[in-house]
Structure 1
Amino acid sequence: MPASTPLQKFLENVDQYPNEIYLRQPINGQWITWTWKQADDECRRIAAALHSLQLPKGSHIAILSKNCAQWMMADIAIMMAGCISIPVYPTLTAHAIQPILEHSEAKAIFIGKLDDFSTQEAGIPPHLIRIGFDLYGRNERYNWNELITQHEPLQHAHEWTQEELLTIIYTSGTTGKPKGVMHTAGNFDRVLGAATKEIHLRKHAALFSYLPLSHIAERMGVEMNSIYNACVVSFAESVESFASNVQEIQPEVFFAVPRLWNKFREGILTKISQKKLNLLLSIPVINSVIRKSIKKKLGLSRARHIYSASAPISVDVLKWFAKLDINITQALGMTEDCVYAHFERYYDYRHGSVGKPFAGLLVKITEEGELRVKSPSNTLGYYKEPEMTAELFDEEGYLRTGDICEYDHDGYLFVTGRLKDQFKTDKGKFISPAPIEMKLLANPDIEQCCVVGMSIPQPIALITLSEIGKAKTKQEVEESLAASLAAVNPDLENYERMAKAVVMKENWTIENGLLTPTLKVKRNQVEKIHQQFYPKWFEEKGKVIWE
């Protein structure tokens, strides 16, 4: 694929497919659509409006909204104006939004589809120019539809070079404060060129957008994929309509975070018991009908690329879905490498691995087992953080991923832990919790899991219950969790074996600060709250303790 930029590819699609549908947005159950030509017209008018608001080329402009057609058009308009986009997670609190907007030096912000803006508004500095997505009832000093009617389309969109800074993506902050990852137009171009070729992305595919566009996975897998492969993007209207929206679309590319895959499994098992499901799948003719029915209800009847993203997923969960003819694949990428990374292909995968590297990705594994990567799409560094940037790369220019990995004899990469998650028990043994957590999460009674063990002789598992688990009696839960410990422990080294499972009173959520916006457990926050109780729980009798 010849060198290009996202905006250049978008404009090519406008020329080649002007009257084909590009964006589909549900409002009150009805679909509003934009062709490539219509989207181009709105983007050009908004770009002209940005310049009229004294936002010259190079201005930093934020987007705070859940996924919607205007999110993507705002991003394209920012490109047309020659400005730099600052996506902000739509679930962040005012306390988390303010430092990002201040650190990024944002001059304006698009404010759109949000669940409770009243709790976020205080995080927006008063000097920022605010533009509302009025289609969703967000009215500000300036509004999208008013700006469209007030401005003629920008005639000359900015002509990007591959070296220019296109966006600053703030990490979700699993540990510490979010960092602004800088990516150029060329970084995006090279990733999509590699992905289209390596994992066989198709032209004009149906895409479904619901994971945050502020995250690198959705930004690349949906927005950039749609631009580079002229795909049609449909959005979810709400959490309540998600199931019906995805059922109607039946997208060809679909990815979810592990917690959602567990939720899907949970939903299936609330309607049909595992015992009955096993029986039906064992009957030759009926098993095909059951698989097709479940895939259609999940919206996966046409899906060719099915990914689990953001965090590791249990191999047992992968095998469970595979029995339904739903082959979930994984990848290992991060904001900093722009996901020029390792991918399982739908035609070449191995359960539990994250696949093989894209061509051109240079890889090394250190003596400590850390994966380090170098590619033409690695970040320029962290915005205004030269010391952190220096720490991110080693002396040979490889990016330190922080992932502990190993290849098998066929070249598939397996993640065995995270350097920063390792902890030492009072026996002086280092433990990587992630692989143990993945084994425990095979139990459908468990919603979330965090294996800990600082200051006690053996690790313990802090767990929250799923809806299936919560529906059981206390005795049934204790028997289920004890059985999981008994099944997992024999495969572990003696010092890794879990002494207890501790059932938490409350779920870990984004709202209580124990999950990131991408639904990863904030281990340091969980530990901060609970570490003082580890010795007490360890000394209590029984294999299962209730907080």
Structure 2
Amino acid sequence: MNQTTFLSAFLSHCEETPDKVWLTQPMNNKGVLKTWTFKEALDEAKQMAGFLESKNFEKGTKIAICSKNCAWWVLADISIMLAGHVSVPVYPTLTRDTTAYILEHSESKLLFVGKLDQKPWEEMKIGIPDDLEKVCLPLGIDSSVGARWNDLIEKAESIKETVDRAPEELATIIYTSGSTGKPKGVMLSFKAMTAAVSTICDVYNISARDRWLSYLPLSHAMERFLMNCCMHSGMVIYYPWSLDTFVVDLQRCRPTVFVSVPRLWMKFQQAVTSKLPNVWLQFLLRIPIIGGLVQKKILSGLGLDACRFAISGSAPISPELLMFYSRLGLNMMEGYGMTENYALSHCGRIGRTRVGYVGETYPGVEHRLTEEGEVEVKTPGLMMGYFKNEEATKATITEDGWLKTGDRGSIDKMGRLKITGRTKEIFKTSKGKYVAPSPIENKLNVSDHIELSCVTGTGFPQPFAILQLSEASKKAASESLKAQAEITKQLEAFRKGSINKVVDPHEALDRLVIVKDEWLPENGLLTPTQKMMRTKIENKYKSHYEQWSSSKKTVVWHGW
């Protein structure tokens, strides 16, 4: 079969290796599994595509998918492609208003509803129009929400022909989780998506021999892009059942390719050092033979002992965290990309990484810096534009076809890119000095006590940081005032010695504020990939800024 898109590549795998297992789905938390071969996956998707054809929708109709990651997410997506339509992923913990906006703005005519958590679903379903047709996926939260997937594919007549889509056709609209205003719908063509996945599969030799665990939200471009890599390369997909079974599911998969976000890499590290303090770990790793055994045991415990390479993306990661995994023998690199270029931008190369840099451009990609230091990228993965938002499209793509990233950066002699902050994040103190928060936050997040930090302070003499404690420190602080006092002492020493001594004087932190409430995607303070919604966090606490300042305390406990 002539392969022009990632869809035709997938159809070739179905033709050439029909009996190879492609999908593995836990059906409960007891380890019961369901698998699909390539042929079985295609047959089921063709049945659902037949149902979609029976609706007589106009070609290119928008069809939404709202579910946590599961095999039926990818089957629904393939069925939409085969039927000639456009998929619209909906993140599974949105507010009712955002849910309503996306479904209305995208002009979606049908919604697949799948595996969801009860509390977010109770909120989201209020925003779903009553007259929007719904199909309930297996493992779905609410089997009464609409027609059931299994019932429909039993009755539907399978599509007779599986044909490729034209490269120029619109494939999907992914709504970005912007920190302000309404989310924008990024339109991606089959051509752009295929350019991204084929390039990255070539660079890292991703093939049908590889395995991948799909757990980051499929409504986000990074995970969706990885799913399309699996369609293109034939890489085998595993799914986790829940957070409680994640380690077991990861060990079952033993992925050869693993991608995560800084917050989850940090949690993995904390899980390791909670059992073996970092000082002892580093000592053992330096001992010949014993060091290798320790590496193998830790990576096996994490389920990453077969991992050829790992990537951290979506947000900055501290150099210290990268070095931690490097000492464990994990080939770990940073990656950089946007929904607007479908991740076809930058990534490290094994043997050519530089700590603190997100890597080189992929083949066919160019980068440049504006006079203001903003990174601009020209890439085959470029979006078609924002859906029904020409003004925003023109503001984001230059007349000569370069994507404005909104990130500030620098480029070294080998062409490796370092992100130094967001152009819109830089703020000015009352002394007239500009502060870029991200580099300071990376230094803060090295502390074993800190899981997330938000450096702010517009209009104040010096910046300060709002903190989320790590899980272990939060538990200790909740149970004991003595533990709070000890954490205060250690964080104050950390502020003075490890932060204020290494930053410029105007960046020195006046205080650290430890807030008790959690920052989560569910309450809108984190994005689906665990990035901070900076503006929302600042708005949540700004009424307390003066009180914190006037307290004269250098470590403030807020809400405890």
Distance 1:482 1:214 in 2: 40
- Paired residues for 1:449-468 under 5 Å: 449-468=453-472
* 1:536 Cα deviation after fit: 3.0
Counterpart of 1:505 (choices 506, 516, 524) is 516
Stretches of 4+ aligned residues off by more than 6 angstroms:
none
Secondary structure at the residue paired with 1:118? helix
User: What is the rounded CA distance, in whole Å, between the counterparts of 1:242 and 1:333 in structure 2?
Assistant: 26
Out of 503, 509, 517, the position equivalent to 2:528 is: 517
Distance in 2 (alpha carbons) for counterparts of 1:3 and 1:425: 55
CA offsets 1:388-414 (integer angstroms, 9 cap, x no match):
111011232211100111012332111
1:16 aligns with 2:22: no
Query: Letter of the aligned partner of 1:13 in structure 2?
Result: H
Q: Which AA in structure 1 matches 2:261?
A: V
Q: Distance in 1 between matches of 2:326 and 2:397?
A: 38
Match of 1:199 among 196, 204, 224: 204
Amino acid in the other structure paired with 2:26: P
Q: Give the residue type in structure 2 aligned to 1:317.
A: L
1:48-68 CA distances to partner (integer Å, 9 max, x unpaired)?
101212333211000000011
Over aligned residue pairs, what C-alpha RMSD do you find? Answer: 1.6
User: Which runs of structure 2 are paired with 1:110-259 in the superposition (5 Å)?
Assistant: 110-116=112-118, 117-136=121-140, 138-139=142-143, 140-221=145-226, 223-259=227-263
Counterpart code for 1:484? F
Distance 1:62 1:293 in 2: 43
Q: Which residue, out of 311, 314, 330, partners 1:310?
A: 314
Q: Give the letter aligned to residue 191 of structure 1.
A: A
SS of structure 2 residue aligned to 1:325: coil
Answer yes or no: is 1:440 the counterpart of 2:440.
Answer: no
Cα distance in 2 between the residues matched to 1:134 and 1:207: 22
Deviation at 1:346, TM superposition (A): 3.0
Whether the 8 Å CA contact 2:195–2:381 is kept in 1: the answer is yes
Query: Which amino acid is 2:315 matched to?
Result: A
Deviates more, 1:6-15 or 1:342-351: 342-351
1:101 aligned residue? 103
Whole-Å Cα distance in 2 between the matches of residues 137 and 359 of structure 1? 43
Q: Distance in 2 between matches of 1:82 and 1:440?
A: 49
Q: Secondary structure of the equivalent of 2:116? A: coil
The residue aligned with 1:324 is 328
Ranges in structure 1 where 5+ consecutive residues have no aligned partner: none
In 1, the alpha carbon distance for the partners of 2:42 and 2:3 equals 22
Given residue 6 of structure 1, which amino acid in structure 2 is its aligned partner?
F
- Distance, in Å, in 1 between the alignment partners of 2:399 and 2:237 is 42
3-state SS in 1 of match to 2:213: strand
1:340-489 to structure 2, matched below 5 A, reads 340-470=344-474, 471=476, 473-486=483-496, 487-489=498-500
1:494-533 alpha-carbon deviations (Å, 9 max, x no partner): 1111111111121211222211122111111111122232
Letter in 1 for 2:503: L
Distance 2:179 2:554 in 1: 29
2:181 match: secondary structure = coil
Question: Is contact 1:57–1:82 with CA below 8 Å preserved after alignment?
Answer: yes
**Residue segments in structure 2 that go unaligned for 5+ positions in a row:** 478-482
Partner of 2:375, secondary structure, is: strand
Q: Distance in 1 between matches of 2:181 and 2:426?
A: 16
1:60-79 alignment runs, 5 A limit: 60-79=62-81
In 2, Cα distance between the equivalents of 1:354 and 1:228?
25
Shifted more, 322-331 versus 454-463: the winner is 322-331
Q: Which residue of 2 aligns with 1:41?
A: 43
Deviates more, 1:445-454 or 1:507-516: 507-516
For 2:400 and 2:249, how far apart are their aligned partners in 1? 47
1:319 and 1:159 map into 2 onto residues whose CA distance is 44
Equivalent position to 2:265, from 241, 257, 261: 261
Assess if the C-alpha contact under 8 Å between 1:79 and 1:158 holds in 2: no
Which residue of 1 is the match for residue 480 of structure 2?
A: none
Per the TM alignment, residue 3 of structure 1 is displaced from its structure 2 partner at its CA by: 6.3
1:336 to 2:347 alignment: no
Post-superposition offset of 1:158: 4.7
Structure 1 length-normalised TM: 0.97
Residues 256, 308 of structure 2: 8 Å contact kept: yes
Distance in 2, matches of 1:376 and 1:281, equals: 43
Contact in 2 for aligned 1:174/1:520 (Cα 8 Å): no
**Amino acid corresponding to residue 438 of structure 1 in structure 2:** N
Q: Tell me how far apart the structure 1 counterparts of residues 269 and 223 of structure 2 sit (CA, whole Å).
A: 22
How far apart, in 2, do the equivalents of 1:158 and 1:327 lie? 39
> After superposition, what is the alpha-carbon deviation per residue over 1:187-227, rounded to whole angstroms, capped at 9, x for unaligned?
11111221122233233311111101111111112x11111
Greater CA deviation, 116-125 or 330-339?
Answer: 116-125
Amino acid at match of 1:483: A
User: Which of 297, 305, 309 in structure 1 is aligned with 2:301?
Assistant: 297
Cα pair distance change 1:2/1:333, threshold 3 Å: farther
1:62 and 1:101 in contact (8 A); partners too:
yes
State the alpha-carbon separation in 2 of the partners of residues 55 and 6 from structure 1: 24
Does the Cα contact within 8 Å between 1:456 and 1:535 map onto a contact in 2?
no
* Aligned-residue offset at 1:137: 5.6
Provide the C-alpha distance between the structure 1 equivalents of 2:213 and 2:406, rounded to a whole number of angstroms: 31
Give the distance between the partners of 1:533 and 1:428, measured in 2 at CA: 22
Matched to 2:12, the amino acid is E
Distance 1:234 1:390 in 2: 39
Rounded Cα–Cα distance in structure 2 between residues aligned with 1:229 and 1:502: 47
Cα distance in 1 for partners of 2:99, 2:466 equals 29
